[in-house]
A and B are shown apart, each in its own frame.
Chain A
């Protein structure tokens, strides 16, 4: 019936996979441009505005990197969990808890100098994020509850908890009714790298990225983790401590997302307010998957998707395109790349099927 059949490649495509992925992204851009056309806007000028807004000036670049920082940390954490085939969809909630944990420290220890307060905030953020990650790990291991749904539900709960704090208990009495905490004291603020608009969170990203890379590449534990992710049966057979690995992975994953929340509160907003929840935790999943869980590629993908957000802001300003355009593009890119990956692992062979 068919003039060709599908066979698995001996080796997945190497450098040529870049071509496949780029092709998929171009396809997704094309579809998104069509959507602009539906709303009666010129697709070409739309895409141009998108790119100019994202990477057209020094200021745009800085904005991209500032937004890429929380995405990178969340995505790095998500990628660690995905390596073990633990589907942590909860970076968004772990991020929220991290921001709350850091703010809690500011509330109680604001008298301390920065050199003590910042490490305390980092500890609080990591612990709170890790705690939020531990609950689904525990429920998965002890009660066999599906972690996808638990982590997702915990995102909703975390966001309402953050709302509860900033609308009530932690609300700045001088904020004219706006739901926000008072501005952090200077000792709780992460500064900018001299001469740029980018904060020192960038350094934290680099350190974490290198550590994660070393962990997977050179440590026994990292190797065990990768092996268990390939096959749980094999891991059990080899007596690898699967349960401990799940806990470890969720602690690291939650903690990293927590740090992203800490940076966002401390360096970008200088306070806690509901707008801190910008959906970075969900974008992080897209980034991790596009980058095939590799710490370096995650960096590249994080900047690109941060660029998409910044570019869409420009599009919003110039063409009055709704902000949701960015989400559509994110979803489209991920779907087309998923579909296109087929060609990395399979090829067509002439001849009849079977």
Chain B
């Protein structure tokens, strides 16, 4: 087998296993741009994954399942919004609580369904483009949800860069007081940030249960939500760089599974560490290199309600 024959399937697998991380990273970028830090991505993902699974199973429609995953992710995000925007609670702690709650909810409701399958999405070669040598297999031999995810970074980039609402959302994350003085309703924009972010994280979870595994197991997200939070920093809050980061981690995960499947002598517990250790490395590298790139100025800071 030539190196080409090994590389192409690995890259295709990287795109597939990077997709749920991509959805979640884009969601968290959206939320953080509005000035809200939501560390509950892992929780929103797994709740989205379960809601998608259950809806697809009951209705027989994977599309409805996918949407339900997004909605339930947004619903959990709304809890964060209520605590932080509504009641001025600490964003770090609320996000952690959200993760604990989300994992608990998915486990609690999901226990009777462990091992069961639901209708999901299967690969559909994209017309014409799938015939491109190499890139066709890597990018265009996937399911619809992967193709859908290609569009989101473009839309987000355009939204932040060229639309009035995108600029306003960013200003709320950078200078909420100036934004308020200019007549913007800061909390309304932050609510939008939290809800859209939660929706996208939920879609990321939905991808896992509907397209990645096609069945429900507990602990399905396995830390992907946290990797997404780290990737937001790696991406310097830009949707385009999120794509690079997500597929890189998708590649690492795919590589690790392949290595395990070949029956290597490396113990599996050491292989399983790989994505998490790499997350630290990537984070350290991008924090070090991106010293002049910074987070939205008022990220994680609540606006005093009495001001």
Q: Which of the segments A42-50, A94-102, A103-111, A140-148 contacts the partner chain?
A: A140-148
Q: A21 near B: Cβ within 8 Å?
A: no
The reply to whether B100 and A282 contact each other, CB–CB distance below 8 Å, is yes
What are 8 residue pairs bridging A and B, where the CB atoms are less than 8 Å apart in the complex? Answer: A149-B279, A149-B283, A154-B280, A164-B270, A168-B269, A331-B43, A331-B99, A334-B97
Could you say which of A146, A148, A163, A327 contacts B104, with CB atoms under 8 Å apart? Answer: A327
Q: A112 near B: Cβ within 8 Å?
A: no
Please give the residue numbers on chain A whose beta carbons come within 8 Å of chain B beta carbons, in ascending order. 5-8, 35, 87, 89, 139, 143-146, 148-150, 152-154, 156-157, 160-161, 163-164, 167-168, 282, 285-286, 289, 322-332, 334-335, 338-342, 345-346
Query: A143-B287, A153-B279, A328-B108 given as contacts; is B229 within 8 A of A338 (CB)?
Result: no
In the bound assembly, the distance between CA atoms of A163 and B102 in angstroms comes to: 25
The reply to whether A338 and B83 contact each other, CB–CB distance below 8 Å, is yes
The reply to whether A338 and B100 contact each other, CB–CB distance below 8 Å, is no
The reply to whether B226 and A152 contact each other, CB–CB distance below 8 Å, is yes
In the bound assembly, the distance between CA atoms of A289 and B100 in angstroms comes to: 14
Chain B residue, CB-CB nearest to A142? B288
Query: A143-B287, A149-B230, A338-B94 given as contacts; is B103 within 8 A of A327 (CB)?
Result: yes
Query: A5-B306, A6-B306 given as contacts; is B269 within 8 A of A143 (CB)?
Result: no
Of the listed residues A150, A168, A285, A338, the one surrounded by the most CB atoms of chain B closer than 10 A to its CB is A338
In the bound assembly, the distance between CA atoms of A117 and B93 in angstroms comes to: 39
Q: B1 near A: Cβ within 8 Å?
A: no
Known pairs A153-B279, A338-B90; list 11 more (Cβ under 8 Å): A145-B288, A149-B230, A164-B267, A164-B270, A168-B269, A324-B104, A324-B105, A324-B108, A330-B104, A338-B87, A342-B88
Looking at chain B, what size class is its interface with the partner chain?
Answer: 35 or more
Chain B residue, CB-CB nearest to A168? B267
The reply to whether B226 and A335 contact each other, CB–CB distance below 8 Å, is no
The reply to whether A322 and B267 contact each other, CB–CB distance below 8 Å, is no
In the bound assembly, the distance between CA atoms of A346 and B86 in angstroms comes to: 12
The reply to whether A156 and B273 contact each other, CB–CB distance below 8 Å, is yes
Could you say which of A139, A167, A326, A339 contacts B83, with CB atoms under 8 Å apart? Answer: A339
The reply to whether B233 and A146 contact each other, CB–CB distance below 8 Å, is yes
The 0/1 profile, CB within 8 Å of A marked 1, for residues 76-96 of chain B is: 000100110011111011101
The reply to whether B276 and A153 contact each other, CB–CB distance below 8 Å, is yes
The reply to whether B226 and A163 contact each other, CB–CB distance below 8 Å, is no
Residues from chain A with Cβ under 8 Å of B59 in the complex:
none
The reply to whether B39 and A144 contact each other, CB–CB distance below 8 Å, is no
Q: B32 near A: Cβ within 8 Å?
A: no
The 0/1 profile, CB within 8 Å of A marked 1, for residues 246-286 of chain B is: 00000000000000000000010110110011011001100
Chain A residue, CB-CB nearest to B231? A149
Of the listed residues A326, A334, A345, the one surrounded by the most CB atoms of chain B closer than 10 A to its CB is A334
Minimum CB–CB distance for B129 against chain A, Å:
36
The reply to whether B280 and A327 contact each other, CB–CB distance below 8 Å, is no
Residues from chain B with Cβ under 8 Å of A154 in the complex:
276, 280
Q: B101 near A: Cβ within 8 Å?
A: yes
Residues from chain A with Cβ under 8 Å of B107 in the complex:
322-324, 327
Report whether over half of chain A's contact residues are helix, strand or loop; otherwise say mixed. Answer: helix
Residues from chain B with Cβ under 8 Å of A328 in the complex:
101, 104-105, 108
The reply to whether A145 and B269 contact each other, CB–CB distance below 8 Å, is no
The reply to whether B283 and A161 contact each other, CB–CB distance below 8 Å, is no
Of the listed residues A35, A156, A167, the one surrounded by the most CB atoms of chain B closer than 10 A to its CB is A156
Q: B127 near A: Cβ within 8 Å?
A: no
Could you say which of B82, B223, B269 contacts A164, with CB atoms under 8 Å apart? Answer: B269
The reply to whether A144 and B87 contact each other, CB–CB distance below 8 Å, is no
Residues from chain A with Cβ under 8 Å of B98 in the complex:
331, 335
Query: A161-B269, A335-B79 given as contacts; is B280 within 8 A of A148 (CB)?
Result: no
Minimum CB–CB distance for B81 against chain A, Å:
11
Q: B111 near A: Cβ within 8 Å?
A: yes
Chain A residue, CB-CB nearest to B278? A153
Could you say which of A145, A157, A289, A324 contacts B276, with CB atoms under 8 Å apart? Answer: A157
In the bound assembly, the distance between CA atoms of A335 and B78 in angstroms comes to: 12
Query: A149-B226, A331-B104 given as contacts; is B280 within 8 A of A338 (CB)?
Result: no
Could you say which of B104, B280, B283 contacts A326, with CB atoms under 8 Å apart? Answer: B104
The reply to whether A324 and B269 contact each other, CB–CB distance below 8 Å, is no
Minimum CB–CB distance for A349 against chain B, Å:
9
In the bound assembly, the distance between CA atoms of A144 and B291 in angstroms comes to: 8
In the bound assembly, the distance between CA atoms of A322 and B113 in angstroms comes to: 12
Closest 6 CB pairs of A and B: A331-B101, A327-B104, A324-B107, A338-B89, A328-B104, A334-B97
Q: B304 near A: Cβ within 8 Å?
A: yes
Query: A8-B304, A156-B273, A335-B101 given as contacts; is B280 within 8 A of A145 (CB)?
Result: yes
Q: B305 near A: Cβ within 8 Å?
A: yes
Minimum CB–CB distance for B303 against chain A, Å:
12
Minimum CB–CB distance for A170 against chain B, Å:
12
Residues from chain A with Cβ under 8 Å of B100 in the complex:
282, 286, 327, 330-331, 334
Chain A residue, CB-CB nearest to B103? A327
- Give residues of chain B (232-249) contacting chain A, Cβ–Cβ below 8 Å: 233
Query: A153-B277, A157-B273, A157-B277 given as contacts; is B104 within 8 A of A339 (CB)?
Result: no
The reply to whether A339 and B89 contact each other, CB–CB distance below 8 Å, is yes
